[in-house]
Amino acid sequence: MTRHTLTPERYYNTMGPHPPALRIAPGDTVVTTTVDSMGNDATGTPVTPKFNPMTGPFFVEGAEPGDTLVVHLDRLTPSRPTGISASVLAPNVVDPEFVRYLPERPLVVWDIDLARNEASLQVPVPGLEALRLLLEPMVGCFGVAPAQGQTISTVTSAEHGGNMDYRGFRAGATAYFPVFAPGALFFLGDGHAIQGDGEIVGTGIEISFEVEFTVDLRKGEQIGWPRGENEEYIFTAGNARPLDQALQHATTEMMRWLARDWKLDVVAASTLLGMCVEYEVGNVFDPAYTVICKLPRRVLQQIPT
Amino acid sequence: MTRHTLTPERYYNTMGPHPPALRIAPGDTVVTTTVDSMGNDATGTPVTPKFNPMTGPFFVEGAEPGDTLVVHLDRLTPSRPTGISASVLAPNVVDPEFVRYLPERPLVVWDIDLARNEASLQVPVPGLEALRLLLEPMVGCFGVAPAQGQTISTVTSAEHGGNMDYRGFRAGATAYFPVFAPGALFFLGDGHAIQGDGEIVGTGIEISFEVEFTVDLRKGEQIGWPRGENEEYIFTAGNARPLDQALQHATTEMMRWLARDWKLDVVAASTLLGMCVEYEVGNVFDPAYTVICKLPRRVLQQIPT
Amino acid sequence: MTRHTLTPERYYNTMGPHPPALRIAPGDTVVTTTVDSMGNDATGTPVTPKFNPMTGPFFVEGAEPGDTLVVHLDRLTPSRPTGISASVLAPNVVDPEFVRYLPERPLVVWDIDLARNEASLQVPVPGLEALRLLLEPMVGCFGVAPAQGQTISTVTSAEHGGNMDYRGFRAGATAYFPVFAPGALFFLGDGHAIQGDGEIVGTGIEISFEVEFTVDLRKGEQIGWPRGENEEYIFTAGNARPLDQALQHATTEMMRWLARDWKLDVVAASTLLGMCVEYEVGNVFDPAYTVICKLPRRVLQQIPT
Amino acid sequence: MTRHTLTPERYYNTMGPHPPALRIAPGDTVVTTTVDSMGNDATGTPVTPKFNPMTGPFFVEGAEPGDTLVVHLDRLTPSRPTGISASVLAPNVVDPEFVRYLPERPLVVWDIDLARNEASLQVPVPGLEALRLLLEPMVGCFGVAPAQGQTISTVTSAEHGGNMDYRGFRAGATAYFPVFAPGALFFLGDGHAIQGDGEIVGTGIEISFEVEFTVDLRKGEQIGWPRGENEEYIFTAGNARPLDQALQHATTEMMRWLARDWKLDVVAASTLLGMCVEYEVGNVFDPAYTVICKLPRRVLQQIPT
């Protein structure tokens, strides 16, 4: 149950079998920092190439392919007084005919007021002068080294996690990743102070973070896609295009979870999901989109385990 | 502001230029009933062919193509002590390889307890013996006569509405439909006592309803897709396949709404949606899927109108 | 075996249960004309509203739901010296980021030289001064009244046919349509002198036609999607979005055809298709896309029937 | 213009910055061998793990990111008397409801008769006893090291090529790949004696090959997606899901090609493609699908360059 502190010396724009930045054990906690998606640190200085440079990898002792890595997000704190976002919808989230009306995308700067827990535009966009948004810090991109020794860009996502941009990956949530490489090789970065569903302008409010997380390991428990849970929900993430396929992956993974941990057969799990499932949309900007399949704990508590 | 009561004499499995069941005026309220999606009435008797037979159409005086029909859902009350649902996931919502594990779909019967406001399985599925679900009555299918004099099946959806199966179309919500035909010709039916997102078993808890709704008209206001609002959100609905395209339709429609009613240009509306949009998934079972694009009122209240 | 001549008096922009323009019997041949997709006749005069106005419907005596209508395209002759096409790619067939580079779409005029069997631009586009294209007249839109009494716009397609824009629907080909309404109610129009795969500018060379076709009926033979054949291939058409689903429909329909008419079980039909199937792309412009699944006769001739 | 002979000592199941098997110069020819997709060599012996093990990489002297690698396929000769294929359609190419009818997939063995240039089933499937198919040897999977130092599995495809399974990559064709890594690092394998469009059973007739290819380099010519040409066509390949997006990539790449090499602006290129484009379907089995956008040389010859 060691508490480690890591000051990153380098960052990676891919997830793969890179040399570990730190070796940690199940139960350990790590306090570290992440740069923003453009490679700027807590002082706003560019220190590494864009996009989505990752802190890590963290080698988790004992993790082997076929295990599940558990990552509890203890704390996600924006570490700068300003964040950056894009300001025009991505061409792929509007009707193709509407793309003509999208101007070039200037970046806008947001003041981040941690004391008030809110963000406001530094130079207001007309109409948004009074806009004050509550901070909801989340991790845009995190995951492990992919299957088969692959090395995959952090601008996309797959079974190993990656750039899922799901708002639910916030402090207090626990994420689960399938382990494909010895040590799992956990990466994280791409912090957002705030982000709407889908990251439809291609960014959230991009900002550097202080992060604190605790890892654990489930030996011999194999999962197919990232999973997670928080106080209210358990959830699964499917990453693919189109959204239909991402939804298929997430739903199928939820069926497997209900079968293994709640012993529900296909009819029982279907009946339950049919009446109670909720879907959320993660990233719809990158090469792979993300759909989240959620089930409320208030329902699960009625199922014997 | 007349209050009409209609006892339907026939039902339609398509939306189109059918002869009106009732002529009403903007501001009028209608109290009527709907049969369940299988055509069974409040006594459980089959009275009309499945699927999704509609009550209506209601001819709204003064409605012309180019107007917007406003429908406020005043009350949706299940009118039977039992509802029916399917119990196996639809083949299109799971990974194709997983379809082999889906058995034939038996229907299950739910007891609907209006006093306790909950549903439970009449013959429990193993594991779900203790399951009690809160009722959340909603309209699965409603809308108007489609464009160009088309007559379209109520098992699908398009610009005119149809089988969107969005949980947010519940009592207290207001829906907006583009008017394509004289009188708008409003239809509704396919009540669900409860339904999970996506209607992924192909049904909610299908049940007959007593319904009460109030119509209004926005002359000369043209919208492209169904819209809605409730106490917390405004929202738009896109109906298409794949989900990606439904999301494009809904997002584009929201951009148009923000431009017209909040005077936000593309940069302002994009910035706002980029940080605050929420998506929900309606039907993912039918030929056309439904995506809902939502914006919280708490954010909109910060925008001058 | 009557040979009918019909001079159309009106046209329809939807396929549905419209009053028959002519009643014909199986085996009969019809000689008639079609206007172009903009509603212009052989003199270039606008005579009916755009888009895709249909000649028909033809009521085929004895046709009942569950039968298959056979339509042999005997002759398709452009009936004007000029045709019209769009000149800019549709926004949905290029990468979303590329849409910004698409200018407004001017129409261009083509000279149609029947004697030389070729088309050339009347006012050459720079670079295309020398372009001479062989005529390949085809029917863009044809089909029957849809299922369930629906009336569906001729700018889309479904199980009943519609705007499939497949280049293979040319003279000499035979098309098969599922019959959904008494008399089948056959419509045709939207002639193209030439068209590339996908109709990716949203038009072919749009032109009025003289057409000659012969109908037949297969009583009690039910098909799920339009089929066709020519000297070299048998083929099926799937109409849906995305293309993936259109391909699924077409492939599944081919499996059914091979099962019924060649008695091939799933393994035999799969093995055959796996090594010999060919796909073509019909319309990728409209609400529903079209994929064609083809099997060469040279292969089928090796299968006992 | 050296002619190299390489006997592979190891194979890779990913494309990435692996140590070169051979260094060659632009203009050089390589004679080598490939194992089949299961890792079996010319004697049918398993020598390396499945799936799609690649021969290579070949380091091309002088190749730098931003260049284009040219690969002419001189000769592709099956090197075994038997090949293997699957015999049941992949679940993702049929309607979801039809998946239930797909049995487990046994492999079938094909006799490959090079003298007669044909394949036949060793143990005939009922109905296919007389089937004799002409050999059409093609490369299922080839390409270069991907962008950003990524290492990507050979069961998928992207901008760098990969498992495209396009029948047009046969002897006589020339392929073009964008160079992302120093030396380009060219890989090839996954030979098919015969394959239908889409590789819809998940395999072609999988077999080991003797291959001969010649490389060249276009310095400073940047392309976005794989391209190719043969005697009749030039073509581009888009790799993505859904097919709609693959088609967008391929079409956009063709627009860029016509702009650069034929100086056609958007209107001219659109007009030409609109009337003359042809699409083909590559792999529809893997995580990324492939669409080919083709333009006939007979048309291009009418455009001044």
Task: For residue range C17-56, list pLDDT tens digits in order.
Answer: 999 999 999 999 999 999 999 999 999 999 999 999 999 9
Q: Which of A30-39, B96-105, C157-166, C235-244 has the lowest mean pLDDT?
A: B96-105
| Residue C78 in tokens | 């452009």
Percent helix, strand, coil in chain C (nearest 5)? 15, 40, 45
Across the range C71-97, mean pLDDT stands at 98
Q: Give the model's pLDDT for residue A305.
A: 81
From A52's Cα to the closest Cα of chain C, the distance in A is: 21
Q: Say if C305 falls within a structural domain.
A: no
On the question of pLDDT at A239 being above 80, the answer is yes
Residue in this structure with the two tokens 């213009």, named with its chain if needed: D1
Q: Say if D75 falls within a structural domain.
A: yes
Interface check for D259 against chain C (CB to CB < 8 A): the answer is: no
Phi, psi for C245 (deg, rounded to 5): -75, -35
Same domain, C122 and C266: no
Same domain, C247 and C265: yes
In this prediction, residue D305 has a pLDDT band, given cuts at 50, 70 and 90, of: confident
From C56's Cα to the closest Cα of chain D, the distance in A is: 28
Interface check for B91 against chain D (CB to CB < 8 A): the answer is: yes
Asked if B173 contacts B280 with a C-beta cutoff of 8 angstroms, the reply is no
Domains in chain D, number: 2
Contact between chains at A151 and D147 (C-beta distance less than 8 A) = no
Interface check for A101 against chain C (CB to CB < 8 A): the answer is: no
Same domain, A119 and A177: no
D2 by Cβ neighbours in 10 Å (0-12 / 13-18 / 19+) ranks as: exposed
Contact between chains at C279 and D274 (C-beta distance less than 8 A) = no
List the strands of the sheet with C278-281, edge to edge: C3-5, C29-34, C209-218, C68-78, C174-178, C227-229, C233-240, C289-296, C278-281
Same domain, C168 and C52: yes
CA distance C189 to C208: 8
User: Which residues of chain C does D247 touch, with a Cβ-Cβ cutoff of 8 Å?
Assistant: 93, 198, 243, 281, 284
CA distance D117 to D134: 6
In this prediction, residue A214 has a pLDDT band, given cuts at 50, 70 and 90, of: very high
- DSSP H/E element including B255: helix B243-262
Q: Give the model's pLDDT for residue B24.
A: 98
CATH number of the domain bearing residue A294: 3.10.28.20
pLDDT per residue as tens digits for the range D222-281: 999 999 999 999 999 999 999 999 999 999 999 999 999 999 999 999 999 999 999 999
User: Which residues of chain C does A100 touch, with a Cβ-Cβ cutoff of 8 Å?
Assistant: 91, 99-100, 102
pLDDT per residue as tens digits for the range B245-294: 999 999 999 999 999 999 999 999 999 999 999 999 999 999 999 999 99
**Which of B90, B99, B242 minimises the CB distance to D91?**
B99
Same domain, D45 and D113: no
**Which of D95, D262, D267 minimises the CB distance to C88?**
D267
Average pLDDT, chain A: 97
Across the range D45-72, mean pLDDT stands at 98
Percent of chain C having pLDDT more than 70? 100
CA distance A75 to A57: 19
Contact between chains at B13 and C240 (C-beta distance less than 8 A) = no
User: Which residues of chain D does C239 touch, with a Cβ-Cβ cutoff of 8 Å?
Assistant: none
Asked if A277 contacts B196 with a C-beta cutoff of 8 angstroms, the reply is yes
For residue A275, give the nearest of D236, B201, C243 by alpha carbon: B201
By three-state DSSP, how is residue B215 classified? Answer: strand
Average pLDDT, chain C: 97
CA distance D49 to D56: 15
Q: Say if A206 falls within a structural domain.
A: yes
pLDDT per residue as tens digits for the range C134-151: 999 999 999 999 999 999
**Cα separations (Å) of A11 from A7, A55, A191, C261, D143?**
11, 5, 14, 62, 28
How many Å is the maximal CA-CA distance in chain C? 56
Q: Give the model's pLDDT for residue D28.
A: 98
Same domain, D129 and D37: no
Q: Give the model's pLDDT for residue B303.
A: 95
Q: Say if D11 falls within a structural domain.
A: yes
Q: Give the model's pLDDT for residue C78.
A: 98
CA distance B158 to D67: 47
Contact between chains at C287 and B240 (C-beta distance less than 8 A) = yes
Residues, chain D, total?
305
Q: How far is CA C47 from the centre of its chain?
A: 22
What per-residue string of b and e applies to A235-264 under the rule 16 or more CB within 10 Å gives b? bbbbbbbbbbbbbbbbbbbbbbbbeeebeb
By three-state DSSP, how is residue D47 classified? Answer: coil
Q: Give the model's pLDDT for residue C105.
A: 72
Which of D156, D188, D218 terminates a domain? The answer is D218
Q: Say if D223 falls within a structural domain.
A: no
| Residue B289 in tokens | 């899927």
Q: Give the model's pLDDT for residue D132.
A: 98
In the DSSP assignment, the letter for residue D293 is E
Same domain, A12 and A68: yes
Using CB atoms and an 8 Å cut-off, which of residues 197-216 of chain C contact chain D?
A: 197-201, 203-205
Same domain, C181 and C213: yes
For residue A138, give the nearest of A190, A199, A198 by alpha carbon: A190
User: Which residues of chain B does C147 touch, with a Cβ-Cβ cutoff of 8 Å?
Assistant: 153
In this prediction, residue B138 has a pLDDT band, given cuts at 50, 70 and 90, of: very high
Region at B249 (left for phi over 0; alpha for psi -120 to 50; beta for the rest): alpha
Average pLDDT, chain B: 97
For residue D9, give the nearest of D18, D1, D17, D170 by alpha carbon: D18
Radius of gyration of chain B measured on its C-alpha atoms: 19
On the question of pLDDT at C106 being above 90, the answer is no
Q: Give the model's pLDDT for residue B216.
A: 98
Across the range C181-203, mean pLDDT stands at 98
Contact between chains at C244 and D289 (C-beta distance less than 8 A) = yes
CA distance A267 to D64: 56
A232 by Cβ neighbours in 10 Å (0-12 / 13-18 / 19+) ranks as: exposed
Same domain, C50 and C158: yes
On the question of pLDDT at D103 being above 90, the answer is yes
For residue C209, give the nearest of C139, C288, C153, C142 by alpha carbon: C139
Across the range D97-124, mean pLDDT stands at 95
On the question of pLDDT at C178 being above 90, the answer is yes
CATH number of the domain bearing residue D15: 2.60.120.580
Contacts of A115 (CB under 8 A, 6+ apart): none
- Peptide linkage before B57 cis (omega within 30 of 0): yes
**Which of B196, B265, B275 minimises the CB distance to A85?**
B275
pLDDT per residue as tens digits for the range A41-76: 999 999 999 999 999 999 999 999 999 999 999 999
Contact between chains at C91 and A96 (C-beta distance less than 8 A) = yes
ipTM over 0.85? The verdict is yes
Contacts of B45 (CB under 8 A, 6+ apart): none
Q: Give the model's pLDDT for residue C104.
A: 86
CA distance A268 to A257: 13
Which of A218, A247, A262 terminates a domain? The answer is A218
Asked if D262 contacts D302 with a C-beta cutoff of 8 angstroms, the reply is no
On the question of pLDDT at D104 being above 90, the answer is no
Percent of chain B having pLDDT more than 70? 100
Interface check for D241 against chain A (CB to CB < 8 A): the answer is: yes
Same domain, C121 and C255: no
For residue A67, give the nearest of A198, A214, A220, A243 by alpha carbon: A220
pTM above 0.95, yes or no: yes
Same domain, C123 and C154: no
Q: Say if D204 falls within a structural domain.
A: yes
For residue C196, give the nearest of C171, C167, C168 by alpha carbon: C167
CA distance D211 to D22: 15
Q: Say if D179 falls within a structural domain.
A: yes
Q: Which of B98-102, B104-108, C195-199 has the lowest mean pLDDT?
A: B104-108
pLDDT per residue as tens digits for the range A276-295: 999 999 999 999 999 999 99
CA distance A223 to A53: 26
* Pairing label, strands C29-34, A186-192: unpaired
* Pairing label, strands D54-60, D22-24: parallel
**Which of B128, B243, B280 minimises the CB distance to A244?**
B243
Quote the domain boundaries for residue C147. 3-81+136-218
Same domain, A175 and A42: yes
Q: Give the number of other CB atoms < 10 A from CB of residue A275.
A: 26
On the question of pLDDT at A260 being above 80, the answer is yes
In this prediction, residue D105 has a pLDDT band, given cuts at 50, 70 and 90, of: confident
CA distance B282 to B163: 9
Q: Give the model's pLDDT for residue B1.
A: 84
- DSSP H/E element including A258: helix A243-262
Q: Say if A53 falls within a structural domain.
A: yes
